[in-house]
Structure 1
Amino acid sequence: MAASPAPGREDAIMAVEQGHVARPGSQSSSSNSTDQDGSFAQSRTRTSAASGRAPAWWKVRLFRGMLKDVRRRAPFYWSDWTDAWDYRVVPATVYMYFANILPALAFSLDMFTKTDMSYGVNEVLLASVLGSIVFAVLAAQPLVIVGVTGPITVFNYTVYDIITPTGTNFFAFMCWVCLWSLVMHCALAFTNACNGLRYVTRFSCDIFGFYVAFIYIQKGIQVLTHQGYDEAFYLSIMVSLLVLGFAYGCGIVGESTMFQHYIRVFVKDYGTPLTIVFFTGFVRIGRMDGVQLQTLPTSKAFFPTADRGWLIHFWDISISDVFLAIPFAILLTILFYFDHNVSSLIAQGSEFPLRKPAGFHWDLFLLGLTTGVSGLLGIPAPNGLIPQAPFHTASLCVTKIVPASEDNDSKDHPTAVIDHVVEQRVSNLAQGLLTLGTMTGPLLIALHLIPRGVLAGLFLVMGVQALEANGITLKILFLLRDRALTLASDPLRRVSKRALYAFVSLQLLGFSATFAITQTIAAVGFPVFIFALVPLRTWAMPRWFTSEELGLMDGPTASEFTMVSVGGNFGEGDGEGDGSGVMASAENTAVSSDEELAERGQRVGAVAARDFGDRGRLGEGERVQHHGVVGEEMEMRRLSGAARRRSTASRQGAVRWT
């Protein structure tokens, strides 16, 4: 007798649609699931037939993705504001304000020197404000932090180096680049081009994250090398290393078992901002006060750095230059399509138990609008930030301490697990408004006091933290570790060393090619190298590795719940596993068409809005089980403040919330 197929991703989606919520200890839920096996099997059969009748690629249903993104997310809009009544929003706002503004200021220093003072502090601050407010209020993915990134910095000063020698007005030319890019972003959003994100796996995301981390470290070192060779140079090096050590140490203490729980939470939430403030004043102590350290250059409040107005005269340019901007706009669009969407994927990664649907098509449309407005204002175009975007989600995670006596695999000591994420819009909006306030005169004076060595230290901190959590780094550490001392449950132990060395070598080769081209005048073309990683993984690597090896070494970046907006994850149900060390069932091979998944995703959003809304929240022991989601069971809990207090009181302090 043939075994019945394991519940797949369509079963999970249909279960949510029909209201079949599995609750532990519920007999009715169990029998209900059993009764539905026949209907699920019929659904898979219908799905296979539907997949066979998928429309031809040239038959594009315009605006379909955008409309469904809005319909899925709209029921949650009010709760996006009311759910912000949570303590986690406060440290997340403070942390993201510093984590966004300080690297942006350092990038402004980089562009200030390399574009002959065309871009400065106010331009970068205004770009961050524009991205934060628009995406916090209107986006379908408000957790994504938007601002000025390292890649767009490289793009801007490379275009400056190419265009300025020809005598072309740089701001007018960049305005046309952004306007053309606006048209291209809209075309991609209208034609549902974000469906291609289903082919973006952790292979590509890890390479890009590795590249961004090295850009941060490189910029930190560059800031130090520009300090000269006198005592200011050595003091700047010392301060930057102290900032690195203290800020990184705060992260270690926050994740450790040292001190009381509330002390660890405070150190983790506010350690980095307080480190910046402390060392800004530290260099004024004693004999160090006599050293002339370079600080951040600023300008008048709310005025551009250059002698111009905020509106760019984009008509003061020749027709030939208008069309010359098109190739640059194509490169900018490729960069933003990949950079922003990868930021969104990582910020909504499978490690975060999110309960509100995503919307990639709508957000790409918004990104096009902010790009066009940036060109008209003469400011750098903002887009999704790495690593700030995932850091933002991580800072909003509510964790609980599971005692050793409870559902704990280790059995010998308590562990901290993520219970849920505070999904809301206030923290992103608040840090944007704080950034706007930073453009006022008094705060610009305060920014002018920050030594460049402190900014260099912050660059190093963010680069090291991003490298530490990167998949490439983790695989390299696994290869260097004594195999006899690795956990037997580690999925990478099931992969041959030859395959693992080859996989990591390909990732390092992709990173090296991208990083190398950014060091040349051809840096404007580096988005092509980044985008080429996707077809390499999708079509070439399956010829070099077995599906089992790829399933263990790679996997989807986000869960299927998040990827409903773009038609699901690539490889799920195709024998390539889920990247978690568990191969997909061979019997679960039916894959819905993109359109059918999008339709079902819309219904899932509506049902989730009803079930997970403000009216009724599940208790501590109740959960919705989604099977087949990135190889693990995703628990979506909703605890109101009252329910949380009752649960905590009943456990008499056994579970502590952060």
Structure 2
Amino acid sequence: MSKHLRMQIPSQRTASRRWCFRLSPRSSAQQGFLKRDLADVLSFATLRTTEATANAPLDRMPKLRPFKDIAVEIRSRWPYYVSDWVDGFTDKKVLAAGVFIFFANVAPAITFAFYLDDETKSAVGVSEVLLSSAISGAIYAILSGQPLVIIGVTGPTSIFTVTINAVARSIGVSFLPFYSWTILWSAFMHLILAVVGACTLVRIVTRFSCEIFGALIAVVYLLNGGREIVREFSEGTFETGLLSLLFALITLWLSMQLGAARHWHFLRSWMRALIADYAIPISVTLATVVSVVIPRVNHAGLSRLNVPSDKPFLTTTNGRSWIVELDDIPVWGVFAALIPGFILTILFYFDHNVSSLLSQRPENNLLKPSTYNWDFFVIGLTMIPCAILGIPPCNGLIPQAPLHVRALAKIRQKPSVHHPNRLVEVWERVQEQRVSNLMQALLTFVALIPPVLGIVGFIPRAVLASLFLAMGFASFVGNQFAQRIALFFADPAHARLVFSHLHAVPFSACAKLTAVQLVFLAGTLGVTESGNAAALSFPLFIAALVPIRYYVLGKFIPERYLEILDADDGREFITDAEGAGRRRGRSGSHSVERELGPGTGMEGIGMGGGFHPRPSSEDEDEMVEEIEVKVEEELDPNQSSEGFVPKNVVHRGRK
């Protein structure tokens, strides 16, 4: 290690160590050695700091404080309520984000609606799904503590609804009353869990569980997109299938290219930003127009959306009354609905809170406080009108919610210091407001108007399939689970630079964790796609990942390595910027850098990174002269400080 790197270690009995690294580069060659050596020392520090908590997973279990936690959240968020509305009219990105997330939300919603329409014999269809998204989205945008989270009908919710329909038929009760009582029981459980502060326990959910769940959602989206294309081959001619595949690939490619418009070298900056913000709407519109205006394509028999545009406004899909007859079910059926209601609560507890966590990641640089318990309480409130109307309940959407945050972020791109040919994005701030969320909910309600539904009916189903593919790939690119899979195929010399947060972890530990995650992903996906009553239990498999992480994985992988791999932002150390990439309080801000894949063109639709964040600096082209790294850890009073000195690092005494 270079002689210019020095370390200072305070008293061995202090509870907090301050490690100081002073870099005094003499030449560009020495700078390269210093960067490499500093990475080694930081990785060593990361490894040692995790040992203090490696054997005590229960120490991090937060205590429940009934009524107090939710009251504290309301008091902390209330002062920002007015600014949530005012800030929505001070940035032009809000309008773009509202329209963008409407398209990103309504397209999967319509596709899920057709799936539900087929499986429930039109008991739940397009009208029900869109109305649920509009009502629930509006309530959540107005009352929630974190309005950046987008809620809607998800793939797991659709699968759960279809399973409930099968269970209702098997036990001989009417589907809609049984479904409504299931939602009512779940709403009641939501309110109880929120009041007792149970959402505080979401802190024990680590990256291990989130990565598997995120990968599950991504695979479901990819499967849905693939099924739509395969259906064109099976239900139509071979020519129609090829044309559908072509439209899907062109729409996917076009959305990626337009999403990367900020990196173009022509047009003005505001025009490039506008194109990037509206990449998906532009792509869908262009593909739809081409499919209509070209006569040969228009007469090729492409499948388009079958919407009820010829019916009066706000008419149910099968013509039933909007109000469900809750008494049209035996008493035992009411209490039998308690079981699926409990399972639905588990699904929403995990699904919504993970969506909320991904939207409020430290690297997103949000300034306003979070309110997990109150948001879960509001989700319970939105389920009550859904139960009365017999429409699917809504919860946080993945990846739409994180994409909404990204659409509202002010991001700069610059060349990376370590990789000149690779771009990094610097997150400066996010426009935190309620207007864009309410806007997309109102636009969803407008989509229920018959003339608008008629326009939506021109969209080819293959174009919607491409949106599923785009969102599926978006979820994978930002998933470190997928990155570790890529590590198996990467050049070891290059992987050392790209996956710098894994310096302190042996390859065998990475391989074991990745293999375990692949097994659980395959098992959960198999249950989810089983198509029978067993699919009702897939939320239980997701919830079981949390205790498995703490009590099973440690038997195969050393806990100190799991701590590093499970870190929230890929690194365990804090820089002198007071935790670049970590959430601050009400005041102060910092920027966070993420590396973008070279030439991916996926940035504009949330597909441009989400790799490990890096501490920011004013000028990355100059070598940092002095870096201070603080490592907080509980020390054993009998442990010698010499045990914390990495090899070849000079100990200059106490500070």
Give the alignment's TM-score, normalised by structure 2.
0.76
Query: What amino acid does structure 1 have at the position aligned with 2:503?
Result: R
Query: In the alignment, what sits opposite 1:494?
Result: 504
Cα displacement string for residues 99-146 of structure 1 (whole angstroms, at most 9, x for unaligned residues): 011111111111111111111111111111122111111101110000
Measured in 2, the distance between the counterparts of 1:466 and 1:400 equals: 22
Q: Indicate whether 1:195 and 2:170 are aligned.
A: no
What displacement does 1:533 show?
Answer: 0.8
What displacement does 1:260 show?
Answer: 5.0
What displacement does 1:524 show?
Answer: 0.8
Instruction: Sort the Cα spacing of 1:152 and 1:141 in 2 relative to 1 into closer, same or farther, 3 A.
Output: same
Q: Indicate whether 1:473 and 2:482 are aligned.
A: yes
Query: In the alignment, what sits opposite 1:112?
Result: 117
Query: In the alignment, what sits opposite 1:214?
Result: 219
Measured in 2, the distance between the counterparts of 1:267 and 1:485 equals: 34
Instruction: Sort the Cα spacing of 1:482 and 1:410 in 2 relative to 1 into closer, same or farther, 3 A.
Output: closer
Q: Indicate whether 1:179 and 2:191 are aligned.
A: no
Measured in 2, the distance between the counterparts of 1:411 and 1:458 equals: 32
Which among 61, 67, 71 is matched to residue 67 of structure 1?
Answer: 71
Q: Is this contact kept in 2: 1:551–1:580, CA < 8 A?
A: no
Measured in 2, the distance between the counterparts of 1:255 and 1:145 equals: 28
Measured in 1, the distance between the counterparts of 2:613 and 2:255 equals: 34
Query: In the alignment, what sits opposite 1:137?
Result: 142
Query: In the alignment, what sits opposite 1:360?
Result: 372
Which among 516, 532, 539 is matched to residue 526 of structure 2?
Answer: 516
Q: Indicate whether 1:505 and 2:515 are aligned.
A: yes
Which among 571, 580, 593 is matched to residue 580 of structure 1?
Answer: 571
Query: In the alignment, what sits opposite 1:83?
Result: 87
Cα displacement string for residues 490-531 of structure 1 (whole angstroms, at most 9, x for unaligned residues): 122332111111011111112111100012211111000011
What displacement does 1:5 show?
Answer: 5.2
Cα displacement string for residues 218-257 of structure 1 (whole angstroms, at most 9, x for unaligned residues): 1112222333141332322221121122112323444566
Instruction: Sort the Cα spacing of 1:259 and 1:580 in 2 relative to 1 into closer, same or farther, 3 A.
Output: farther
Q: Is this contact kept in 2: 1:492–1:553, CA < 8 A?
A: yes
Instruction: Sort the Cα spacing of 1:103 and 1:411 in 2 relative to 1 into closer, same or farther, 3 A.
Output: closer
What displacement does 1:294 show?
Answer: 2.2
Query: In the alignment, what sits opposite 2:409?
Result: 397
Q: Secondary structure at the match of 1:219?
A: helix
What displacement does 1:96 show?
Answer: 0.3
Instruction: Sort the Cα spacing of 1:156 and 1:258 in 2 relative to 1 into closer, same or farther, 3 A.
Output: farther
Measured in 1, the distance between the counterparts of 2:431 and 2:73 equals: 20
Measured in 2, the distance between the counterparts of 1:268 and 1:383 equals: 27
Cα displacement string for residues 553-573 of structure 1 (whole angstroms, at most 9, x for unaligned residues): 1213xxxxxxxxxxxxxxxxx
Q: Indicate whether 1:429 and 2:441 are aligned.
A: no
| Unaligned stretches of 5+ residues in structure 2 | 1-9, 19-55, 576-582, 593-611, 618-655
Query: In the alignment, what sits opposite 1:322?
Result: 334
Q: Is this contact kept in 1: 2:155–2:220, CA < 8 A?
A: yes
Query: In the alignment, what sits opposite 1:245?
Result: 253
Query: What amino acid does structure 1 have at the position aligned with 2:161?
Result: N
Cα displacement string for residues 66-120 of structure 1 (whole angstroms, at most 9, x for unaligned residues): 1111011111111111112112212111110100111111111111111111111
Query: In the alignment, what sits opposite 2:459?
Result: 450
* Mean CA deviation greater in 531-540 or 344-353: 531-540
Q: Is this contact kept in 2: 1:181–1:372, CA < 8 A?
A: no
Measured in 2, the distance between the counterparts of 1:624 and 1:400 equals: 10
Q: Is this contact kept in 1: 2:150–2:400, CA < 8 A?
A: yes
What displacement does 1:488 show?
Answer: 3.8
Query: In the alignment, what sits opposite 1:484?
Result: 493
Q: Is this contact kept in 1: 2:365–2:591, CA < 8 A?
A: no
Q: Indicate whether 1:387 and 2:392 are aligned.
A: no
What displacement does 1:286 show?
Answer: 2.9
* Mean CA deviation greater in 249-258 or 108-117: 249-258
Query: In the alignment, what sits opposite 2:7?
Result: none
Q: Is this contact kept in 2: 1:551–1:579, CA < 8 A?
A: no
What displacement does 1:414 show?
Answer: 8.3
Measured in 2, the distance between the counterparts of 1:412 and 1:129 equals: 44
Query: In the alignment, what sits opposite 1:336?
Result: 348
Cα displacement string for residues 585-615 of structure 1 (whole angstroms, at most 9, x for unaligned residues): xxxxxxxxxxxxxxxx9xx97xx3xxx5xxx
Which among 101, 108, 114 is matched to residue 106 of structure 2?
Answer: 101
Measured in 2, the distance between the counterparts of 1:167 and 1:282 equals: 49
Q: Secondary structure at the match of 2:551?
A: helix
Instruction: Sort the Cα spacing of 1:291 and 1:498 in 2 relative to 1 into closer, same or farther, 3 A.
Output: same
Instruction: Sort the Cα spacing of 1:498 and 1:174 in 2 relative to 1 into closer, same or farther, 3 A.
Output: same
Identity of aligned residues (%): 35
Give the alignment's TM-score, normalised by structure 1.
0.75
- Structure-to-structure mapping, 1:367-382, within 5 angstroms: 367-382=379-394
Query: What amino acid does structure 1 have at the position aligned with 2:545?
Result: L
Q: Secondary structure at the match of 2:337?
A: helix
Q: Is this contact kept in 1: 2:190–2:345, CA < 8 A?
A: yes
What displacement does 1:190 show?
Answer: 1.6
Query: In the alignment, what sits opposite 1:568?
Result: none
Query: In the alignment, what sits opposite 2:428?
Result: 419
What displacement does 1:263 show?
Answer: 4.2
Query: In the alignment, what sits opposite 1:20?
Result: none
RMSD of Structure 2 on Structure 1 (CA): 3.0
Q: Is this contact kept in 2: 1:199–1:538, CA < 8 A?
A: no
What displacement does 1:293 show?
Answer: 2.3
What displacement does 1:259 show?
Answer: 6.1
Matched residue count = 531
Measured in 1, the distance between the counterparts of 2:560 and 2:574 equals: 7
Query: What amino acid does structure 2 have at the position aligned with 1:72?
Result: S
What displacement does 1:302 show?
Answer: 1.1
Query: In the alignment, what sits opposite 1:549?
Result: 561
Instruction: Sort the Cα spacing of 1:344 and 1:634 in 2 relative to 1 into closer, same or farther, 3 A.
Output: farther
- Structure-to-structure mapping, 1:599-614, within 5 angstroms: 608=586, 612=587
What displacement does 1:428 show?
Answer: 0.4
Measured in 2, the distance between the counterparts of 1:483 and 1:258 equals: 37
What displacement does 1:179 show?
Answer: 0.7
Query: In the alignment, what sits opposite 2:323?
Result: 311
Measured in 1, the distance between the counterparts of 2:374 and 2:134 equals: 20
Measured in 1, the distance between the counterparts of 2:264 and 2:163 equals: 43
Query: In the alignment, what sits opposite 1:18?
Result: none
Q: Is this contact kept in 2: 1:402–1:415, CA < 8 A?
A: yes
What displacement does 1:546 show?
Answer: 2.6
Measured in 2, the distance between the counterparts of 1:331 and 1:411 equals: 50
Cα displacement string for residues 301-327 of structure 1 (whole angstroms, at most 9, x for unaligned residues): 211112211111111111111111111
Query: What amino acid does structure 2 have at the position aligned with 1:498?
Result: S
Query: In the alignment, what sits opposite 1:261?
Result: 269
Instruction: Sort the Cα spacing of 1:582 and 1:60 in 2 relative to 1 into closer, same or farther, 3 A.
Output: closer
Query: In the alignment, what sits opposite 1:275?
Result: 283
Instruction: Sort the Cα spacing of 1:158 and 1:303 in 2 relative to 1 into closer, same or farther, 3 A.
Output: same
